[in-house]
Each structure stands twice: as structure tokens, then as C-alpha cells.
Amino acid sequence: MDRVRVGPVKGLKIAVAAFVLSVFLAAAVLGLGIYVLTSKTDEGTETHEAVCALVADLESRTEGTRLFLGEHPHGIPGIPASSLRESLHNQERTIDALSVVSC
């Protein structure tokens, strides 16, 4: 059987689609964080724990991205370093937005 090859244009489209998906995911996480912070519930402790878990997850992801960029400063085929840096910047902004909660 012949192998299907992905050309540079298709690879770029896949990378752009993955980047757009990650931006939407970051926006959803930010929206969830804002919803959790602004909702008025009796389970304040659970809400606080959820936000802290979200912040911890984001901090872990940013650390992983920093390590990856350190090992691959120019990115990898299909995922340019600029996309990784933009994603990292979005995650850091989300962490900053949630910094009003002390964990």
C-alpha cells in the first residue's frame, strides 16, 4: 500500500487548526474559571478547590511548554515555536487572571 503523505500546505493547515483549537480551549478554561469565581454557591470551599486545581493544572502546562521550548527552541515540524509561545502567553494570562484566589 502507498503511504499518504502530508504536504507542507496540509501540514500548515493542521498546525493552524491545532493552534486555533488550543486558543478556544484556553478561552473555555478562562470562561470556566470566571464562571467558577463569580457563581454564588453555598459550596465555597469546593469552588475554591476547583479554582486552585485549575491554576495548578495551568501552571503545570506552562512549565511543560517552557521545558519543551527549551528543548525545541524552533518548534517541531508542524508546530512552530511562535504558536507554542502564543499558547504559553495565553496560559500565563489565565493564571494572572485567576491570581485573585490564594491557593
49-89 per-position pLDDT tens digit: 889 999 999 999 999 999 999 999 998 888 899 999 999 99
Residue 58 within any structural domain of the chain: yes
Residue 96 within any structural domain of the chain: yes
Q: How confident is the model at residue 6 (pLDDT cuts 50, 70, 90)?
A: low
Range of the domain at 38: 8-100
Query: How many helical (H) and strand (E) elements, i.e. helices and strands, does the chain have?
Result: 3, 2
Q: pTM of the predicted model, to two decimals?
A: 0.54
The answer to whether residues 69 and 85 touch, using CB atoms and an 8 Å cutoff, is yes
In total, the chain counts a number of residues equal to 103
Residue 92 within any structural domain of the chain: yes
C-alpha cell at 29: 478554561
The mean of the pLDDT values for the chain is 83
Residue 2 within any structural domain of the chain: no
C-alpha cell at 51: 479554582
Number of domains the chain is built from = 1
Query: String of b and e for 68-100 (b: at least 16 CB within 10 Å)?
Result: beeeeeebeeebbeebbeebbebbeebbeebee
Residue 22 within any structural domain of the chain: yes
Residue 36 within any structural domain of the chain: yes
User: How much of the chain, in percent, has pLDDT values that exceed 90?
Assistant: 37
